[in-house]
Every structure is written in structure tokens, then in C-alpha cells.
Amino acid sequence: MISLHTSPLDQPGTGDAGGMNVYVVELSRRLAQRGISVDVFTRATSSRLPPVVEAAEGVLVRHVAAGPFEGLTKGELPGQLCTFAREVLRAEVSHPVGHYDVVHSHYWLSGQVGALARDRWQVPLVHSMHTMAKVKNAALAEGDTPEPAARLIGEEQVVEAADLLVANTALERQQLVDLYDADPARVAVVHPGVDLSVFRPRDRSETRRELGLPEDAVVLLFAGRIQPLKAPDVLLRAVAVLLDDDPSLRQRIVVPVVGGPSGTGLEHPDSLAELAAELGISDVVRFIPPVTQPDLATWCAAATAVAVPSYNESFGLVAVEAQATGTPVVAAAVGGLTTVVSDGESGLLVEGHDPRDWAAALRRLVDEPDLLARLQRGARVQAAEFSWERTATRTLAAYEAAHHLMRAEMAS
């Protein structure tokens, strides 16, 4: 595995750490449980990090020194690709020839390194985009910065170099074909999963007592990185509309925001708190630093609903995780969220980002207890369709397909 710009050991919910971190570590763990040794190469961000860390039995995270340990933004990392690639190739030399059977790269920066390793080691390159610049630029949030031309070109190069691309959803597969001219025969759809032993239904009263939440509260949760792309401001503006329309709700509503600044959100780390004050809802909003997966499961289980108002999501792991706890999701009808959330069955999909439309959707969960109960039941059913074990099985099939494709190409 190559995960250059963010380590699977990093805490999801802040900086560049998010769903991709969870994906890499959970998939690696499931592969290791099947007797497959997994090395994850990532860039070292501190001199205190040991060269190798065992993340789980059979999973080694290898910290590669490439550039200054601290202070480099994701936009500056392309300048360190050569150094990173050199160190990855050097690590392989210490093993017998043929030590690695496949390279699986994550995000375009890693794909650039993966393409070099593929050619050097003569093993297939499987690549997961996770996000795509052309998709992101087509649906920018207000105040967000477009992805640079260098990334667009880099992604096109990786798509061309990879033996097989792994798409999270059928929609992402079509985007790869339409926007990047990917060969449809070289794109496999493999849904990410959820750890159903961690994200599971729990007694709502119990979880609320643990978190200090009123038992009868309407808890509308946002969990994720605080940046324009994730659009937590949409939830806050919708809550302001709810309270303007029905001031009596102020005594019951709680809006936990679990996560930290990321991306362009780092430029104004306090912007969401300032927006809450501007909207006059600071008294109902609680800002919670990023939490571990078990703690996130507790927050999800305690919520009335989890809001995912992103402008784009290649999948939307938090939506699956929330549903696995039996909590409905109110999500933007974009990207992978249209696959993850079954509209009217496990949650509600909202077209666009107008706060009034979002307020109307959230109001339904407050006013219609029968709907809320039905969505709670449907959320558990929907989440059961996604598991990391199933993801691992299908990923292994993708690796086999990549081997066949590479051999066929070399023979032609």
C-alpha cells in the first residue's frame, strides 16, 4: 500500500486525515487476517516517528523521510515525489526479488510513486482515487479553492498507468470513464465497508448519558473535517432556520460538530464558531475535537440524525458508520452518498445546499416519529450491506484481475 500524504495511523477528522485513512487501515487489517502481509508506505511527518510501526498483526506502516517533517502542505508534496519514490524502491531492495505481489496506491500522489514501483518491480498497480480533481472542481463550495492543473494532469497520468482502478461506486466508475477516459474493462467497483463490531446499535439513553446530552434532546450531528467541501455551515444555517421558525426547539436541540479544521478550512480555523455566533445559535452548538472510532460510534448512536451536507463525496464513510448504529442520515444527493443512503428508507437525500431545504428535511425527523422510527430500522438494514470483510474479498479479486491484465499486456 502507498498512502503518501496521510498515514493510516493519523487520527481521522482533522488535517488531511479522513475516510481514506480508515479505508487503508481497515482494508489492510482484513487482508492481513487472511494471511497476506501488508506494508503501508507513508511520508514521515515527525523525526520522532520510528521507521516501522506494526499497525496490526501482519500490517507494517513504513515511515519514509521525504522533505521537511513538518510544515509541508499537500500542495507542496509533489516536490517530494522523487525522494519518496527513491526510498520506497530502496526498501524493496532489502527483500528477496519478487517480495511484493501488487502495489495498491491511494490518491493521485501515491499513484505517481506506484507507477514507478510497478515498472521497477514488474507487479501490477491497483489504484484508488478516493477523490478526483475534475469532480471536485465541478462542484466547488463557496470560498473553496479549485484543484490545480498539476493535480489534474497527475491524475490523468495515474489513470493511464494503472493496471486496474478501484472505484468506490458505480457512479465513480462512470466518472473515471467519462472524465479521465479510463478503460471500462480496467475499472472495478468495490464498496468500502464499516466495522459492524464497533458501529452498532446501542441504547440511546445510555449513550446520551455517557456524552452528557439531554435524554429528550434533538441531536443533529456533524462528524468530519471542517472545510468548505464538507459544508458543515449548511447544517448550522439550517438549524438557524429551524429555530427562527420554531423558537421552542431551542430548549431541545443540540448540534455537536465533531472534527477539526482541514484543507482550506485551515486558513480560518474559527470560521464555524464565528458563523454560529453570527447566526445566534452558539448556545446549541458544541464543538468536539476529533475522536477515535469507538467514540465516534457513541456519538452516532446518541444522535437523532447525522448530517452529511458535503458538496461531493466519493463514498461517505461517516454515512455508513452512522447508519450502522441505527441512526438515520440526512445527506446531500451527491456522489457516493446516493449509493450509501437509501432515500426514504435509511435516511433522507437533499438536493442542493439551500438551508431552508435542509431545515425542512430535518424538521420531518422532529415532527414525524413514525418516519424517524422507520428510518432507524432501515439504517441498520442498509449498513449491513457494507462490511470490510466483503471489501477485502472484492479487493483480492481486483488484485487477481490486475495480474491477468498485466500479463496479457506484457504478452501482447
Annotation: binding site for Mg(2+): 303, 327
Q: Which residues fall within 8 angstroms of residue 132, CB to CB, at 6 or more apart? A: 155, 172, 175, 176, 179, 180, 314
3-state helix, strand, coil in the chain (%, to 5): 50, 15, 35
Query: In 3-state terms, what secondary structure has residue 205?
Result: helix
DSSP character for 79? G
CA atoms within 13 A on the CB side of 174: 5
- Residue numbers belonging to the annotated binding site for UDP-N-acetyl-alpha-D-glucosamine: 11-12, 19, 225, 230, 291, 313, 321
Rounded to an integer, what distance in angstroms lies between the CA atom of residue 154 and that of residue 109?
Answer: 8
Question: What residues contact 244, with CB distance under 8 A and at least 6 apart?
Answer: none
Q: From residue 264, give the alpha-carbon distance in Å to each of 20, 73, 129, 228.
A: 18, 11, 20, 7
DSSP per-residue letters across 106-133: ESHHHHHHHHHHHHHHT--EEEE-SS-H
User: Which residues are documented as binding site for 1D-myo-inositol 3-phosphate?
Assistant: 5, 16-21, 74, 107, 131, 151
Per the annotation, binding residues are 5, 11-12, 16-21, 74, 107, 131, 151, 225, 230, 291, 303, 313, 321, 327
Q: Which residues contact 16 (CB under 8 A, 6 or more apart)?
A: 5, 6, 10, 74, 262, 263
* Per-position DSSP letters for 291-333, written without gaps between them: --HHHHHHHHHH-SEEEE--S--SS-HHHHHHHHTT--EEEES
Q: What's the residue count for the chain?
A: 412
